[in-house]
A and B are shown apart, each in its own frame.
Chain A
Amino acid sequence: GQNIDQPTEMTATEGAIVQINCTYQTSGFNGLFWYQQHAGEAPTFLSYNVLDGLEEKGRFSSFLSRSKGYSYLLLKELQMKDSASYLCAVLDSNYQLIWGAGTKLIIKP
């Protein structure tokens, strides 16, 4: 079956760096997405990786290793507004988006 694993919850300190991991086992691969979702709001797109390596976008970076079925989202200089759930999703060979359960990130002052 298809599976995406992320930690359920993580805690970090304002100003620090946090890495949220995502491992996947899917039937085929056409890209990996990270979304941010604040409580009570819709998910918003953060990043897309289809080739191995690191994609940097401001304070957020996303890494992909297709051979290892692994990705991470790196958040630098954490701010209180980064408290949210972070969803990992993989586009499989049928172009179906397979969603992880999400990681709730709690930022403490």
Chain B
Amino acid sequence: SAVISQKPSRDICQRGTSLTIQCQVDSQVTMMFWYRQQPGQSLTLIATANQGSEATYESGFVIDKFPISRPNLTFSTLTVSNMSPEDSSIYLCSVADRGGTDTQYFGPGTRLTVL
């Protein structure tokens, strides 16, 4: 499976600021996803990052709040904009190759705390 890294691994931010999280994969992948996981809860899909076009957002998530870039097949960024304490969470990127079993493999996550 692909090796996935995320930066930063954790951060503490002030209300009203923005944070950009990077996801890097060591090989080209078809699909890249961004999830949020609140403490003790399961995964919530934020959006699918599409290479060369706008991301596909899930219900409840909007581009202005969570802009996403995917300039190529190995890299994506998620920005959490105008943060509030409710955005404190773990943010995870995952990758999958369409055409196989679509198994998703996850990066190590970014633990975000907003004060």
Q: A33, B103: Cβ atoms under 8 Å?
A: yes
State the main secondary structure of chain A at its contact with B: loop
Q: B108, A95: Cβ atoms under 8 Å?
A: no
Choose from A50, A87, A91, A96 the contact partner of B43 (Cβ within 8 Å): A87
Contacts of A54 in B (CB 8 A): none
Residue on A with the closest CB to B44? A99
Choose from B1, B107, B109 the contact partner of A45 (Cβ within 8 Å): B1
Q: B108, A31: Cβ atoms under 8 Å?
A: no
What's the minimum C-beta distance from B76 to chain A, rounded to whole angstroms?
16
Q: A97 to B109: give the CA distance in the assembly, Å.
A: 18
State the main secondary structure of chain B at its contact with A: loop
Contacts of A30 in B (CB 8 A): 102
Choose from B1, B41, B92, B101 the contact partner of A101 (Cβ within 8 Å): B41
Q: A42, B42: Cβ atoms under 8 Å?
A: no
Number of interface residues of A (CB under 8 A): 19
Looking at B43, B44, B45, the one whose CB has the most chain A CB atoms below 10 A away is: B43
Number of interface residues of B (CB under 8 A): 17
| Binary per-residue interface labels of chain B (24-50) against chain A in the complex, 1 for a CB within 8 Å, 0 otherwise | 000000000000000001111100000
Residues in chain A within 8 A of chain B (CB atoms): 30-31, 33, 41-45, 48, 50, 87, 91, 95-97, 99-102
User: Could you write out 12 A-B pairs with CB less than 8 Å apart?
Assistant: A30-B102, A33-B103, A41-B109, A42-B92, A42-B106, A43-B43, A48-B101, A50-B101, A95-B102, A100-B42, A101-B42, A102-B41
8 smallest beta-carbon distances between A and B, as pairs: A42-B106, A101-B42, A99-B43, A102-B42, A42-B109, A99-B42, A48-B101, A43-B106
